[in-house]
Structures are given as structure tokens and as C-alpha cells.
Structure 1
Amino acid sequence: MAKVVVLRMGHRINRDKRVTTHVGLVARAFGADGMIIANVSDASVETSIRKVVKNWGGEFFVESGRPWKTVVEDWRRKGGMVVHLTMYGLPVDEMIDRLRGREILVIVGGEKMPGEIFKIADFNVSVGNQPHSEIAALAIFLDRLFYGSELKKEFKNGKMRIIPTEKGKKVEIRT
């Protein structure tokens, strides 16, 4: 299976911990292999996401502090494709077949993106053309990319697992 990594742009340490953590949680739950937080180091977000991976299982990496241009250049040098999720891009449903099976770096932002991103991306892809959350856009993009199969994914080596129930909550704790 092709590798998919999320590059989180515009993370502001004092303001965006929760949103950036949710970007990482969605990336993991919806099938990405990892997340890189560009330009700033945030150990608390890294720790939060690693704790989820440890408790709930699966393979997912998180790192922070690398300059976004370096991340993009390294990805390209290895033959990967760069997809920028933006409301100004081409519709996801028109683009998704061209993206499947490729090594993809998915760029998502939380603040105004550098204009250069629009030019260096192989594809600017939109999930709707109205303002909305990068978290929602990432979830829909990954769901389309993986045909919805990520919703049935089994996460190995987790200490916890949800047992689906019609009412209430049931969590299996593994030792």
C-alpha cells in the first residue's frame, strides 16, 4: 500500500494544540502513516498522539519542527506526490482516481497558506469550495482515497479496543 503522510502547516503553539492534535488523530484513524508539523516543534502534541498510538495500536509516526520546504523537497526527491487540500482546488471526486496508489504528502493548513504552496503542489484539491475545517477536509479526502476501507481497519498491538454496541459504551482492555 502506498504511503500517505500529512504535513500540518500553520501550527501556532499557544493556540492550535487541540486542532493539530485532531488533525493527527484523524490522519491516523483514517489511514495515513504519519504526520509532520511544519516549522515549529511541539512536544506536547507529539506526546498526545504517541499516547493514542500506544493505547489504541497501529503504526503511526508524528514529528515536528522540520521546515515545510525541506519536507516537500525530501518527499519529491523520493518520488512522492504533493497534494494540497484547499477550498480553491479541483474537486476531490474529480481528482481522487489520479491520486490512488501513489506516495502522497497531504498538506493541510490552519492559517493563510504561503502562495508558493499552490504552485509547488502537484495537485490542489478541494473538499467543497466553502470555508470549513482542515480536519473535516482531511477526513473526507482520506475516506475517498481509501474507498472507506479505513473505517474497518484493525489496529494491532493496542491496549484498548471499542466493542460496538447499540447503547452504552464497551471498551476491551488488553493486557
Structure 2
Amino acid sequence: MNINVLRLDHRIGRDTRITTHVCLTARAFGASKVWLAGEEDHSMMKSVKDIANRWGGDFEIEYNNSYMEVIMNWRENGGKIVHLTMYGSQAHEIVDEVRETGEDILIIVGGAKVSTKVYKNADWNVSVTTQPHSEVAALAIFQHLLMDGKEFDLEFENPVFEVIPTAHGKNVNIHDENRKIHKEE
């Protein structure tokens, strides 16, 4: 199962930080790509690419102002669509159904106001809570459920930086041109 994320209605200046967090969360929890719709933000996209390059793995971010084109292409290629919204079915009740399709999944996270077209074109409108909340939180929770906790075991190829889990302090391996440098603080 390949997971992509579509971030709707990005606004430069207002949404840069939250959209960056959507991208980093998507990547950390197993998505291979984020599609960005709304205003094209070259600086934010470059920042996300730079972070992904330093921390390893294959991760893409691509701009397409026509979010409906992304949705329709995804559907035409046989993928399934999950729209995260506080108005949907409860995530923990439908995640097995989503996972068991075995199909590639496009997870849509909203912007300022989500069009009815998005709700109608989703295979599942999914809620992680019925209260106002962050799209970053919703994405992390849903991807965690979808991955069934396997995101903790993800390995990202060719990282420059690699965190070594430790109870206290910071333990980071820095890989530089095939030399492994160990740094601990």
C-alpha cells in the first residue's frame, strides 16, 4: 500500500508552518508523497525536500493547483481516497476496512473551507474526533492507525542524520560521504 497526502488550499505566509508539519508528519508516518494545492510555495517545498534529503528515504512533494485533478487521477489509477474531517466516520471504526482494500491510499487534509466535491469524491470521510482539531494531529493519528504501528519500524535509506533512541540526551549518527560519525549530547 502506497500512501500519498493531498494538502488543500495552502496559503503562503499564513499556512507555511502548518503545511510543513503536514509534510513532515506524512513522511515520518510512512507516506511517500505530498501533493500541495492552493498557492505554490517554492520556499516551503524546498525546505521540505531539504529535510527529507538529510533524513533519508524517498519522499516527494509536488504542487498541483487543481486538487480535483489529483483526486480524479488517483481514482482513475485505482487508488482509494480518505478525507480527514471532524464530520466523518470514526477512524478507529473504519481503518481496518481502509487497510484491507490493499489499494494505494490518498489522504486529504483540508484547508480553510473544504468543497463539497471533496466529501463526495472520497471513499471515506474520516474523523479522528468530532471536535475542532489540527490537521497535523488528524493525519498523525490516522496514519498511525493505518500503519498499525509499523511506522515505528520504518527505515529511511541514505540518511545524513539518524536519531538513535535514548532515554536521556540526544544521540545522533551523522553519515557523511560513507563515513559514520557518532555524535552524542
Does the aligned pair in 1 maintain the 2:81–2:105 contact within 8 Å? yes
Does the aligned pair in 1 maintain the 2:83–2:125 contact within 8 Å? yes
Does the aligned pair in 1 maintain the 2:12–2:41 contact within 8 Å? yes
Deviates more, 1:2-11 or 1:20-29: 2-11
Report the residue type matching 2:51 in the other structure.
V
Report the residue type matching 2:11 in the other structure.
R
Large movers: runs of 4+ above 2 Å: none
Alignment: residue pair count: 174
The percentage of counterpart residues that share the same residue type is 48
Say whether 1:154 aligns with 2:151.
Answer: no
Equivalence map 1:40-79=2 (5 Å): 40-79=39-78
Report the residue type matching 2:112 in the other structure.
E
Counterpart Cα distance in 1 of 2:78 and 2:166: 44
Structure 2's unaligned 5+ residue stretches are: 177-185
Q: CA deviation at 1:66?
A: 3.2
RMSD across aligned C-alpha pairs, in angstroms? Answer: 1.0
Counterpart Cα distance in 1 of 2:9 and 2:86: 16
> Tell me, what secondary structure is at the counterpart of 2:96?
helix
Counterpart Cα distance in 2 of 1:66 and 1:80: 20
TM-score, length basis structure 2 = 0.91
Counterpart Cα distance in 2 of 1:140 and 1:42: 26
Q: In the superposition, relative to structure 1, how do residues 39 and 110 fare at CA in structure 2: closer, same or farther (>3 Å)?
A: closer
Report the residue type matching 2:54 in the other structure.
N
Residue number in structure 2 paired with 1:123:
124
Residue number in structure 1 paired with 2:83:
84
Q: CA deviation at 1:151?
A: 1.5
Higher Rg: 2
Counterpart Cα distance in 2 of 1:52 and 1:42: 16
TM-score, length basis structure 1 = 0.96
Does the aligned pair in 1 maintain the 2:52–2:59 contact within 8 Å? yes
For residues 121-158 of structure 1, what are the alpha-carbon distances to aligned partners after superposition, in whole Å with 9 as ceiling and x for unaligned?
A: 11101001000000000000000001111022111101
